[in-house]
Each structure stands twice: as structure tokens, then as C-alpha cells.
Structure 1
Amino acid sequence: MTVDSSATPAESVGEDAAAGAPAGRQPSAAAAGTLQIQLAVLTALTGGVLAAGSYLGVVPLLVAVGLVQLLLTVSWLFGTAVPGRRGGLVLAVLAAGGADAATVHWPHSGYSPVLGVLGLAVPLLFAHQLSRGVVRTRVVESLADITVLLVALVALAGLLVLRRQGNGDILTPAVLGAITAGLVAAHFTDAVYPAPRFDPAVARGLPAVVVGVLAGALVGLLGLRRVIEFTGGRGAFVGAAIAAVACLLSIGAAFSGVRASALPPAPVGAAVRLRPVAAVLMTMALSTPAAYVLVNALAG
């Protein structure tokens, strides 16, 4: 991975498309900064809803997770214009419902029940593509996009597992706080100073990752200070590591947005507005397994 310090905000074509500018048009620094602020607000809202649910209890967290899964499904399928959206919607509902039910029923089995859900989803993914009949176009793209969606949906169920563990009422809000704080800090940093960049086409810079990691470390230190397993700086380490994973996934989502904007069909209307939502929710969902593993590795 190379860092380009010579790029200017006007080169972020993919990010501009996500913000609503016409495809192929060079965005301004203001447009790129506005997008980052939008992403920060969406991240704060998502993290706040999940953290509030985890604070209130298992059932409220289940409701919050289900809401995020629904929004992720709609924003991903329609924001990225995935071929075979109707079948993908059915698969997404089945996967999310199955993962949530399995983790609630077997809370002490970790992610093992989720693996069963993914195993059952594999033949259904291929059956879905075969059922598309004569309109079966862009098969690889459809299969890949829906698979990523299903993985993200079942990954969110890890929050339900973490909440049912010992000290889950403390661990889950702290984990969500580290992810949220890291991403929000990174987005605001990129809104002000997105350089040196990771790539000329993406308005995301290395300083944002550093700031995000520091924000996650602070939240981890404060949020986990009452748990004996995370004293002596372990809470800060966990928060920093979780925030680092989330920030890097967010950059990956930005690269994905650049690629999607360069492919036909061109994003229009609601699809453009849904893409930032999909990027935020996908990032938070895929950060959950890393947070679960890190917390249990140190707590165990």
C-alpha cells in the first residue's frame, strides 16, 4: 500500500459520486469534506442506537441489531444496484433472522451457530442465481455482492453473543463506543485534512487512521476500566485495535465505492443517497467479529 501526498481533494471521483455529484465529474474539496461529515453523522447515529440497545438489555439490543440489519440490506442491495435484488432480499432476511435466532438460543457457543447459517446460505446463493432465468446477467457481481451482504448481516449477531457473556453489559457498549469514536474521528479528520492519501482517487488520508486509533484507545481505556481483565492499559489496547480495524475497513469501503461508481449502470437518484449509508453500516458490521475476537482473547 502506497501513500500519495500529492493528491488533491478534487481527484476523489468515487467519493463525489457517493455524495451525489454526476459520474465522471471532478469533486471539490468542499464536496469531499461534506461527504465525510455525512459519514461521521451516520456512524454516530448507528453506533448510538446499538450502544443504547446494549445498555438497556439483550432484547433492546436484538431490536437495534435487527433495525441495522434491515437498513444495511436495503441500502446495500439498492444503493449498489445489485443484480437479482429481490432474491437477495429474501436471502438477507433469512440469514439475518437465522443468525439472530441462533445466537440468542445458543449464546454460549460464540459464532459457531452463525457458521451453520452461512453453510446453509451457500447452496441457496447458487440456487438464487439459477432461478434468475433468462435475465441472469452479471452473475459473478451479483453472487459476490450478496455474499458480502450475508456475511455482514450474520457478523452483527456477534453483538448479541458478546452481550450475554460475563460483563457483557460493559464490554458491548465499550466495543461499540471504540468503533464509533474511531470512525467518527477519522471521518472528521479526513473532512479537514485528507492527506497524505492512500490513493489519489479516494479522499482518505493516513492522519485520519492515526486519530481514529487514538480515539478508540481513549474510549477503550475509559469504557473498560471497571473490568479487571482490561486494567493496566489493556482496555486502551483493545479500543485502539478495534478502531484500527474499523478505520481500515472504512477505507476499503471507500475504494469499493470508487469501483462501483466506475462501473455501469451509473448511480442515479436514491442509489446515490443510499451508498454512504451502506458504506457506514457495512463497516460497522464487519468490524464486529474482530472486536469479539480481541475482547475474548484478552478476557480469556
Structure 2
Amino acid sequence: MTVDSSATTEQQPRTPAAGTLQIQLAMLTALAGGVLSLGSYLGNVALLAAVGVVQLLLILSWLFGTSVPGRRGGLVLAVLAAGGADAAIMRWPDSGYSPVLGVLGMAVPLLFAHQLSRGVVRTRVLESLADITVLLIAVVALAGLLVLRRQSNGDILTPAVLGAITAGLVAAHFTDAVLPAPRFDPQVDRGLPAVVVGVLAGALVGMLSLHRVIDLAGGRGAFVGASIAAVACLLSIGAAFSGVRTSLAPAGTAGPAGPAVRLRPVAAVLMTVALSTPAAYVLVNALSG
């Protein structure tokens, strides 16, 4: 008996649930971006509080939404890393991301110690180590918003960066809800038009919000916004691939209505926003000199 290999690459049919999921992701993105933008508008302390809330939600949704092995220890490590990164950056705001590197450096031996401490229940070690490492990188990456806010013109740059990320992702998700074709992969309900629309939305936000910054006036502001949105959209597609390629449902979860399934969209959105932050920080500082 022979198997037709083309059957495995056949494009999955479009379902109403797929479009609903994209709308849900768009709304979650708008909410997360709105909270961070409001915090950046109100000042450094308000932004610190907003970043802390988003970090906590990311930790909980990632650990319990993806059924990470060893999540109790991972919870402790992630909270310590987030708090340490925020405190270090508030203490040395002129050092950029350097304090964060110190936090990550201290986290490395703790990651291995955590795996050793799991004892006889130490299963899926590589999966646990990888998932918790990605989480630590994401929560400390969010602290870059605190650095950007305390720079020159930070009151303009930070909301602009968050606006480009949010607008790009929201536009991309709504586009995928309507037209997810041509798809990047037959099994992933994400298409190229969404990335194009997201980049255009980010460019518009960048042009409108950065025209007051002399170094980023005109085309530079649009380029920064488009580049940030492109990074965010591609990371979002990567999150979609991760959800398809791995089995994340925890043991004992009853069908698609399990709590882990409900937390996955939150984890995907917050992870995308968090990992977009370092790229946005580098782009803004590279072009603003």
C-alpha cells in the first residue's frame, strides 16, 4: 500500500473558529498594547506597574497555558527574573540592556539547579528547560520599555514603539481573519497579506507619532514603525507555528475547552509583544543616534 505524500501538505479548510481566534488575538493585543501605552503616557512609575502586570500575566499564561514541565519552579524563576530585571534597569537606567544581561547570567545556573531539584518526576527535561528559558528571556526583554522611557524623548518614543507593535499585530490578525492566503504553511492559518497590512499599519503609526523627533522625522519614522511591525508580525507567525507543531495540552485536560487552551492565546500575544521589544529598542536607538 502506498501513501500519497501530497495529502500531508494539503491546505487545511477554513473554519469559522479560525477567524474567531484571529479576532480574539487582535483584541488581546489591543488590550496589552493599550495597558503598556497608557503606562508610558502617565510616566515612569506607571509604566513600571504596567510592565509588571504584563510580565505576571505572561508568566502565568505561558507556564499554565503550555503545560510546561516543572512549572512551579519555573514560576519562581520567572518572577525573580522579571523583578530583578525591572529593579536593575530602574537602578541603572543609563546602562541600556546591560543590567538585564546580568540577570540572565545569574539565571543560567538556577535553570539547571531547578531541573536537578525535580527529583524522580524529572521528565521532559529538555522541553522544560527550553520553555522556561524562552519565558525568562521574554519577561526580561519587556524591561527594555523602562530603558526607552527614561531616554531623551522617551515620552514620545515609547508610545510610538508600542503603537507600531500593537497596530501592526491588530491589523495583521484582522486581515488573517478575512484573508489568510497565500498561507505560509498549509496547516497554519496565517497568510502573507496580513504581514503586508501589518507593516503598512506600523509605518503609518511611526510616521504620525515620530514626526516630532527631529532624528526620526519624515521617512525615518515610517521606516522605524514598519520595521517594528514587521518583526512583531513575523514573531506572531512563529507563535502560530509553535502552537501547531507541538502538543501543549496537559494531561487530564478534557477536550478543547480545557483551561490551558483558553490561556494559549494570551501567552501567544504577550510573548510576541515581549520579544518585539528588544528589536524596537535597537531600531529606535540606531536611527535616532
Q: TM-score, normalised by structure 2?
A: 0.94
Cα distance, 1:275–1:262 mapped onto 2, change above 3 Å: closer
How big is the alpha-carbon RMSD for the aligned residues of Structure 1 and Structure 2? Answer: 1.4
Instruction: Give the Cα–Cα distance (whole angstroms) in 2 for the partners of residues 73 and 262 of structure 1.
Output: 16
Q: Does the residue aligned with 2:247 lie in a helix, a strand or coil?
A: helix
Change (3 A) 1:68 1:194: same
8 Å CA contact 1:80–1:260 kept in 2: the answer is no
Q: What do the CA deviations read for 1:154-183 (whole angstroms, capped 9, x no partner)?
A: 000000000000000000000000000000
Query: Could you tell me which amino acid in structure 2 is paired with residue 171 of structure 1?
Result: L
Partner residue, 1:16: none
- Per-residue deviation, 1:202: 0.5
Residue of structure 1 equivalent to 2:209:
223
The percentage of aligned residue pairs carrying the same residue is 83
Structure 1 unaligned segments of length 5 or more: list them: 1-5, 11-27
Contact residue 9 and residue 32 of structure 1 kept, 8 A: no
Higher relative contact order (CA 8 A, sep 6+): 1
Matched, 1:270 2:259: yes
Q: Where does structure 2 lack aligned partners over 5 or more consecutive residues?
A: 1-8
**Counterpart position of 1:105:** 91
Give a deviation string over 1:184-223, Cα, whole Å, max 9, x none: 0000000000000000110000000000000000000001
17, 20, 25: which is aligned to 1:39? 25
Change (3 A) 1:187 1:228: same
Supply the distance in 1 between the matched residues of 2:119 and 2:180 (Cα, whole angstroms).
45
Among candidates 17, 34, 38, match of residue 48 of structure 1? 34
Distance 1:115 1:279, change over 3 A: same
Q: CA contact under 8 A between 1:39 and 1:187: conserved in structure 2? A: yes
Return the offset for 1:231: 1.1
Task: Report how many aligned residue pairs link the two structures.
Answer: 278
**Residues 1:296 and 1:264: Cα distance change in structure 2 (over 3 Å):** same
Deviation, 1:260, is: 2.5
- C-alpha contact 2:66 2:250 (8 A) present in aligned 1: no
Contact preservation (8 Å) 1:77, 1:88: yes
Q: Which residue is equivalent to 2:183? A: 197
Q: Residues 280 and 144 (structure 1 numbering): CA distance in 2 closer, same or farther, change over 3 Å?
A: same
What's the CA shift for 1:259? 1.9
Aligned to 1:298: 287
**Alignment correspondent of 1:117:** 103
Matches of 2:251 and 2:164 in 1, distance apart? 37
Change (3 A) 1:124 1:252: same
Distance 1:91 1:280 in 2: 21
Paired amino acid for 1:89: L
Tell me which amino acid in the other structure corresponds to 2:151.
Answer: Q
